[in-house]
Amino acid sequence: MTPTARRPQYRTFFGAPPRDLSDGRPADVAFLGVPFDLGTTLRPGARFGPSAVRAASAWSSYYTHDGNAAGGWYDLDLRRWILRGVTMVDWGDVEITPADITHNLDRTTVAVEEVLEAGSLPVLIGGDHAITYPALRAFAERGPIHVVQFDTHQDFVDERQGTRLGHGNVMRRASELPYVSGISQIGLRGLQKYSEPLKAADAYGLRTVSASEVRMRGPEAAANIVPPGASYYLSVDIDVLDIAVAPGTGTPEPGGLSYAELRDAIRAVAARGHVVGLDLVEVSPPYDWAEITSRTAARLLLVALDAVFRDRDPAARQG
């Protein structure tokens, strides 16, 4: 192909084509930004997460320089190609309006339903963690699903000051969905002030591995708490990483996972069953430095998608 003076520049996730799927042309992955942070307890800013992760992901374009799509990437660390032949689109952002949590969350559910109806894997980029509950509601006719949460915090508070839909309530709401068969939490280390959520977590049967336990046992062993052979919804709260690895988030804590530990835990979980949905939340660019957090988030998305689609790539099976 003759070099041209210009190339189109899309500010999309990994430069994937910016389109919806209503034209009937399928794609394996549909990225969906959810610039919502009205569920934040302390420091807002995660509404800027989708645009920051889009910018950081542009380093790793979906297209090669001759314009070919879905060629994948050669991962020098893994020594194999990843995501070859996996098609992706950026379906844009959920429309977020001010001062109305319920309608914003309802629109998030509708957007995920549209992705599922098109047969694509929904990949949500938040936004604060409150967006996971409306995403899970879209699976109402598609259960049972097991939620695997990578997080510093349990997010299992029933109600605080009249609020039940914030980012600290999200897994409690998830636990009430009849088609959510269970929840596994990996990387916990936050401070829990009240005993009610702890008792409720025990009563529900939350499966948990703390950050220290991930370090002691290794990420692969930590993934063994996840029931094998199930359909999983993976929810990655970026604050599961150490504060030094992911400073750009609303409620960071020291003592968190390394990038490699989280990467390996995601891989180990995905290998146990079938991933039907994925979100990455709580990237908050106002607290980030040098794009550390958004860049890490972008790479984690590729890692997670490789884990989800690995069995589709013949070259990967040999490796």
Residues of this chain that interact with Mn ion (CB under 5 A) are 129, 151-153, 155, 237, 239
Residue keyed to tokens 């799509």:
69
Q: What is the smallest separation between the CB atom of 314 and Mn ion, expressed in angstroms?
A: 37
The interaxial angle of helices 259-270 and 292-309, nearest 10 deg, is 20
Nearest CB to Mn ion, comparing residues 152 and 169: 152
Q: How far is the CB of 141 from Mn ion (least distance, A)?
A: 26
Minimum distance from CB of 117 to Mn ion (Å)? 28
Q: Least Å distance between CB 215 and Mn ion?
A: 18
* Residue with smaller CB distance to Mn ion, 93 or 239: 239
Task: Find the shortest distance in angstroms from Cβ 229 to Mn ion.
Answer: 26
Look up residue 190 and give its two tokens. Answer: 């936050």
Please state the φ and ψ torsions of residue 223, each to the nearest 5 degrees: -70, -15
Q: Closer CB to Mn ion, residue 118 or residue 269?
A: 269
Backbone angles phi, psi at 70, to 5 degrees: 60, 30
Least distance CB 294 / Mn ion (angstroms): 17
| Complex with Mn ion: residue 93 or 155, whichever CB lies closer | 155
Comparing CB distances to Mn ion, the nearer of 120 and 149 is 149
Nearest to 171 by CA among 223, 237, 103, 243: 237
**Neighbour-count burial for 120-144, b at 16+ CB within 10 Å, e otherwise:** bbbbbbbbbbbbbbbbbbbbeeeee
Per the CB < 8 A criterion, the answer to whether 187 and 300 are in contact is: no
229: left (phi over 0), alpha (psi -120 to 50) or beta: left
* Cis peptide preceding 162, ω within 30 of 0: no
CB closer to Mn ion, 157 vs 316:
157
Look at residue 126 and give its three-state secondary structure: strand
